[in-house]
């Protein structure tokens, strides 16, 4: 459904639970908090399902929005969740009971909800949520701040190829509410922990280059994380790092997970479809940024992704 219909549908509800995706980023958190506060401003009861993976980068935005354990929702909405595999352990029970509305911007959307408001043309799901909440009246500063976080973080501070004129128009409208956008961007883009810098140094030292440096494959193992005493906040959006290397057109960042699997993040330019590559390994995402999870070691993951890239390139 279109965003105006989603806005009408939401306004007919009460006791609304909002779900964010596994390993939450700024987009899913920002959308959820912005939507929650906007619904409350319309007199609705709305809460976010607590997400155990939220890092300290994003937990401050969640304050006051996390559902108490005894909350019994009448309507369940997911934001920025493309597929069933991206639900948190706590969120999966709602997948069983039924999601009423999915708001998303991923072309790989799996249509798991009764109703879906999808616009794959949006750089961030936050742009879409902004269009929904502004149907209910002027957007307040409290609602605008998390939505700005969503838009800013999902576009790499308005630098990734998904950034459109509309992205800037939404950001401008959000800024006009009086939020401190500079504070958001300093916090998320111009501040790095020492552990983060060491993580980047490790990637530079250990990444593999193929095709004269056009393909870079980096891996961060659980051992690496433990040795650097780094946590998920230190690794936030680390997938964007390798692509900064001059000459790289396709970058892959592999994160080893507990339990013998690896999460892969693929970033590409217009010469290769990231979602095409990841689809071969059961994942999905956007044209220039996609991901997948595979069972196996870091070395298995490296081999699998290189072979998927070759297949999409037509070299297989």
> Which residues of the shown chain bind Mn ion in the complex (CB under 5 A)?
27, 80, 125, 154
CB crowding 69-99: b at 16 or more within 10 Å, else e: eeeebebbbbbbbbbeebbbeebeebbeeeb
- Tokens of residue 41, six digits: 């401003």
CB nearer to Mn ion: give 27 or 131. Answer: 27
Per the CB < 8 A criterion, the answer to whether 126 and 28 are in contact is no
Provide the minimum distance between the beta carbon of 168 and Mn ion in the complex, in angstroms, as a whole number. Answer: 17
Provide the minimum distance between the beta carbon of 303 and Mn ion in the complex, in angstroms, as a whole number. Answer: 29
Provide the minimum distance between the beta carbon of 26 and Mn ion in the complex, in angstroms, as a whole number. Answer: 8
Residue from 101, 109, 162 nearest 129 by CA: 101
CB nearer to Mn ion: give 13 or 265. Answer: 265
Provide the minimum distance between the beta carbon of 227 and Mn ion in the complex, in angstroms, as a whole number. Answer: 31
CB nearer to Mn ion: give 150 or 304. Answer: 150
Max Cα–Cα distance, the chain, nearest Å? 58
- Tokens of residue 75, six digits: 């309507």
- Tokens of residue 103, six digits: 């708001």
Provide the minimum distance between the beta carbon of 20 and Mn ion in the complex, in angstroms, as a whole number. Answer: 11
CB nearer to Mn ion: give 8 or 110. Answer: 110
CB nearer to Mn ion: give 100 or 154. Answer: 154
| All residues at 6 or more sequence positions from 169 whose CB lies less than 8 Å from its CB, including other chains | none
Provide the minimum distance between the beta carbon of 48 and Mn ion in the complex, in angstroms, as a whole number. Answer: 16
Per the CB < 8 A criterion, the answer to whether 5 and 35 are in contact is no
- CA terminus-to-terminus distance, the chain: 39
Residue nearest to Mn ion (CB): 27
CA distances from 233 to 170, 185, 199, 289 (A): 27, 16, 12, 20
CB nearer to Mn ion: give 188 or 302. Answer: 188
């Amino acid at each position: 459904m279109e965003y105006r219909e989603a806005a009408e549908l939401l306004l007919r509800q009460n006791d609304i639970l909002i779900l964010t995706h596994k390993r939450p980023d700024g987009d899913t958190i920002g959308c959820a908090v912005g939507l929650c506060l906007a619904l409350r401003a319309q007199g609705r009861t709305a809460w976010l399902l607590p997400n155990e993976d939220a890092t300290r980068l994003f937990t401050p935005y969640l304050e006051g929005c996390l559902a108490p354990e005894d909350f019994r929702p009448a309507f369940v909405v997911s934001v920025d969740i493309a597929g069933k595999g991206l639900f948190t352990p706590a969120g999966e029970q709602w997948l069983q009971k039924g999601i009423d509305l999915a708001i998303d911007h991923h072309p790989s959307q799996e249509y798991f909800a009764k109703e879906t408001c999808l616009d794959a043309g949006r750089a961030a799901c936050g742009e879409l949520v902004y269009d929904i909440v502004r149907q209910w009246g002027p957007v307040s500063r409290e609602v605008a701040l998390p939505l700005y976080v969503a838009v800013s973080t999902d576009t790499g501070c308005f630098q990734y190829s998904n950034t459109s004129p509309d992205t800037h128009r939404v950001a401008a409208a959000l800024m006009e509410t009086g939020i401190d956008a500079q504070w958001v961007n300093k916090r998320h883009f111009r501040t790095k922990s020492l552990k983060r810098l060491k993580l980047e140094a490790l990637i530079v030292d250990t990444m593999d280059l193929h095709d004269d440096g056009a393909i870079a494959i980096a891996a961060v193992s659980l051992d690496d994380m433990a040795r650097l005493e780094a946590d998920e906040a230190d690794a936030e959006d680390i997938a964007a790092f390798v692509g900064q290397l001059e000459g790289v057109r396709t970058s892959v960042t592999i994160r080893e997970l507990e339990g013998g699997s690896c999460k892969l993040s693929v970033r590409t330019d217009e010469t290769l479809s990231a979602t095409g590559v990841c689809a071969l390994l059961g994942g999905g995402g956007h044209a220039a940024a996609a991901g997948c999870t595979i069972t196996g070691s870091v070395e298995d993951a490296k081999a699998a992704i290189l072979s998927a890239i070759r297949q999409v390139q037509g070299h297989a």
